[in-house]
Amino acid sequence: MSRDVLPKYPKSVAPIHAEDARAVRVRIDRWRAASRLTRAGAQPVHGMFGLSRALRYRASRSLRALRRILVHWVDVAGLCAAFVDRAVNIDRRLSVAPMMDWTDRHCRYFLRGFSPATLLYTEMITAAAVTRGNAPRLLAFDPEEHPVALQLGGSDPGELATAARIGEAFGYDEINLNCGCPSERVASGAFGACLMREPQRVAECVAAMVAAVRIPVTVKMRIGVVSGARCEVAGALAGFEADDFAALQQFVALMRQAGSQAAIVHARVAVLGGLSPKENREVPPLRYDVVRRLKAAMPDIPIVLNGGLRTVQSALDVLCWCEGVMLGREAYHRPLFLGQMAQALAPQTVMPSREALLMRMASYAERQLAAGQSLPAITRHMLGLYAGEAGARAYRRLMSEGARAQGADAQVIRRAAASAVHAGGSAYEHSR
């Protein structure tokens, strides 16, 4: 699909590479200003040498040509620098996992309030839905969500490349391919964890996406895949043999060769056929040791570990030997954990009070309601703000039943903010 036929993205979405274009414009303006100064200073020099009119004319034409070449060079160099910046500037130390039906745009906006730099992933969206469905509805997001990565599901290189390009046009900072989801429906559509058995095919998909976009492409995976009923795979889950490790290593190496900039590894085996998606996140044992061995065997490949991280200390321990940690359920159910992590990684991060977090969400809800969204669609992601504390139940009731009541509007969230004032102190202090 050529850039010209890409769908128009909605106004609420930052235009593609707006910051790159700005950076280039600034560079060009600076160069132009400098070149004006040079020209102003050059005129008396011409006079001093007493060049003939014809010579001065030729000299000024040559200078203009040179200037054109330089402007072009500045343009190209600026763009290259800007894109290189985009690639290396993604801070992968802390990210929030893609979670279907959970990490939608409202959830991501809410979580952004706790941590300004965390990389947020969308829920998985299939490449077919992006290319053939209502892309603006599926992909629109608020500029405050940056940095935000789009997770795609699929196994057709051409379709994935087109979807990746559309995602880039919508302003996403990274495209991620799902090779970790074990659901039956997904396996029958030939994507998700079953793709780990087809490394060549996945490499083709990654290479096609890398060729289609200028933003980073990454892959999220499990440490391996087994098939069968729970009792049949018990033995396979208990151990992780040398050939299992070799297969994982080969998969990661192929993805890297194809252009993937990081391997995001959910440190569990996926069981296809025998466990539900929920069980697949709980039953197979966590194997951080396998991911650590992988990192030791492939030190040049950025690795992000995912799975079971629930405390700041455990996440910081993991960060001693790999590039990043990805938080899933804990960040969703207890978002203050995200704030704690953000502060542990950047101590200057100021954690807003709960009142401020809620007032921010009330303003957001007002804008979203005006755009036709429903209040419960927003507040359902905010239930964990008081997790494990006094007042949590009343707050949850307000955010769920209160938000569903007839005529409810953003005032519901403001009422919760008013109670937060009485609670006093910063949200972060409360969560410790």
Ligand X SMILES: Cc1cc2nc3c(=O)[nH]c(=O)nc-3n(C[C@H](O)[C@H](O)[C@H](O)COP(=O)(O)O)c2cc1C
Q: Provide the annotated active-site residues.
A: 181
Position 142 contacts ligand X (CB under 6 A): no
Least distance to ligand X, CB of residue 151, Å: 6
Going from the C-alpha of 310 to that of each of 110, 297, 317, 330, 352, the distances in angstroms are: 19, 27, 12, 6, 21
* Shortest reach from residue 262's CB to ligand X, in Å: 14
Q: How far is the CB of 190 from ligand X (least distance, A)?
A: 16
Rounded to whole angstroms, the Cα distance separating 373 from 365 reads 8
Binding ligand X by CB under 6 A: which of 86, 106, 146, 266? 266
Choose between 139 and 327: whose C-beta lies nearer to ligand X. 327
Q: Is 283 exposed, middle or buried (0-12, 13-18, 19+ CB in 10 A)?
A: middle
User: Which residue of 27, 67, 293, 329 would you call a contact of ligand X, by CB under 6 A?
Assistant: 329
Q: What are phi and psi of 325, to 5 degrees?
A: -125, 140
Q: Of the ranges 202-210, 241-249, 304-312, 358-366, which one interacts with ligand X (CB under 6 A)? A: 304-312
Query: How far is Cα 225 from Cα 314, in angstroms, rounded to an integer?
Result: 25
Q: Is 307 in the site for ligand X (CB under 6 A)?
A: yes
Contact status, residue 165 vs residue 129, Cβ threshold 8 Å: no
- Note whether 423 binds ligand X by CB under 6 A: no
Q: Which of 94, 196, 272, 327 binds ligand X (CB under 6 A)?
A: 327
Q: Which residue type occupies 216?
A: P
125 or 420: whose CB is closer to ligand X? Answer: 125
| Comparison of 166 and 331: residue with beta carbon closer to ligand X | 331
Query: Residue 332: which of 176, 117, 123, 102 has the closest Cα?
Result: 102
Q: Which residue, 155 or 353, is less far from ligand X as judged by CB?
A: 155
Residue selected from 102, 109, 170, 191 as contacting ligand X according to rule CB under 6 A: 102
Q: How far is the CB of 318 from ligand X (least distance, A)?
A: 12
Q: Which of residues 205-264 bind ligand X (CB under 6 A)?
A: 220
Region of 20-28, 254-262, 302-310, 414-422 interacting with ligand X (CB under 6 A): 302-310
Cβ proximity to ligand X: between 288 and 428 the closer is 288
Q: How far apart are CA 146 and CA 106, in angstroms?
A: 13
Our CB check for ligand X shows the closer of 78 and 308 to be 308
| Residue 331 CB-density burial (10 A; 0-12 exposed, 13-18 middle, 19+ buried) | buried
Give strand pairing partners of 221: 179, 265
Among 95, 306, 340, 426, binds ligand X (CB under 6 A): 306
Task: Work out whether 181 is an interface residue with ligand X (CB under 6 A).
Answer: yes
**Nearest CA among 196, 210, 222, 197 for reference residue 294:** 222
Residue with smaller CB distance to ligand X, 155 or 426: 155
Beta carbon of residue 422, minimum distance to ligand X (angstroms, whole number): 33
CB-nearer residue toward ligand X: 135 or 338 = 338
The DSSP bridge partners found for residue 272 are 227
The nearest distance, CB 410 to ligand X, in angstroms, is: 26
Instruction: Look up residue 219 and give its amino acid.
Output: V
Under rule CB under 6 A, residue 170 binds ligand X: no
* Residue closer to ligand X (CB basis): 147 or 307: 307
Q: Is there binding between residue 328 and ligand X (CB under 6 A)?
A: yes
Binding mask 144-163 for ligand X (x = CB under 6 A): -------x------------
Nearest to 432 by CA among 316, 307, 339, 342: 339
- Partners of 327 in beta bridges: 96
In a 3-state reduction of DSSP, which class is residue 287? Answer: coil
Candidate ranges 40-48, 62-70, 325-333, 392-400; the one touching ligand X (CB under 6 A)? 325-333
Q: Classify burial at 249, counting beta carbons within 10 Å of its beta carbon; exposed 0-12, middle 13-18, buried 19 or more.
A: middle
Q: Does residue 180 touch ligand X according to CB under 6 A? A: yes
Question: Which of these segments, 23-31, 59-67, 96-104, 409-417, binds ligand X (CB under 6 A)?
Answer: 96-104
Contacts of 367 (CB under 8 A, 6+ apart): none
Structure tokens at 66: 């040179």
Which residue in 17, 78, 94, 98 binds ligand X (CB under 6 A)? 98
Query: Helices 157-169 and 199-212: crossing angle, nearest 10°?
Result: 40
Q: At what angle do helices 288-297 and 242-258 cross, to 10 degrees?
A: 60
Give the number of residues in contact with ligand X, rule: CB under 6 A.
Answer: 22
Binding site for ligand X (CB under 6 A): 97-100, 102, 123-124, 151, 178, 180-181, 220, 266, 281, 306-309, 327-330
